[in-house]
Amino acid sequence: MRDMVLQHLRERFQSLNDLVETLDPALFNSHLEVSKNKTVGEHMWCIVGARESYANALSVGDWAGFTCSLSSTENRGDVQAALVSSEAAFESALSQVDEWTLERESLLMYLLEHETTHEAQLIRHLYGLEQTLPESVKWA
């Protein structure tokens, strides 16, 4: 099961990388006219922070709080670099796990849920802005 969760996580990572690569940078700060709406950039900040935080949690074996290194979401290059860096941090933490506890298995599932939720929210957001999405976006 862990291998399947990891496969799905990596697919979501690629999907979000593809989405950012193809997105018009002007849309990073766009809002929809609905309540509690996040911009694409705000979603990316949360995604990067979750990847970094879950990587840390995997390393220590338990949730250790949320942090995010992405300070600006206005520049596509910065967001792309942070997505790549946070994915690398996750893969590094993963490769250093010696003992797979129930808590670590649960952390993987929570990260997959988080990635999937943001991908779905971004799909809705970008369709609301009448944008097309890359083929790798699973539910588009």
What is the per-residue pLDDT across 32-56, written as a single tens digit (0 to 9) for each? 888 888 899 999 999 999 999 999 9
- CA-CA distance, 94 to 20, in Å (whole number)? 24
Identify which has the larger pLDDT, 7 or 35.
Answer: 7
Q: What is the pLDDT of residue 75?
A: 85
134 versus 56: the higher-pLDDT residue is 56
Q: Percent of the chain at pLDDT above 90?
A: 75
Q: How far apart are CA 140 and CA 133, in angstroms?
A: 7
**Which pTM does this prediction carry?**
0.93
Whether the per-residue pLDDT at 140 is higher than 70: the answer is no
Q: Provide the percentage of residues in the chain whose pLDDT is more than 70.
A: 98
Taking all residues of the chain, what is their mean pLDDT, rounded to a whole number? 92
| 114-123: pLDDT as tens digits | 999 999 999 9
DSSP alpha helix (H) spans, the chain: 2-22, 40-60, 76-95, 102-128
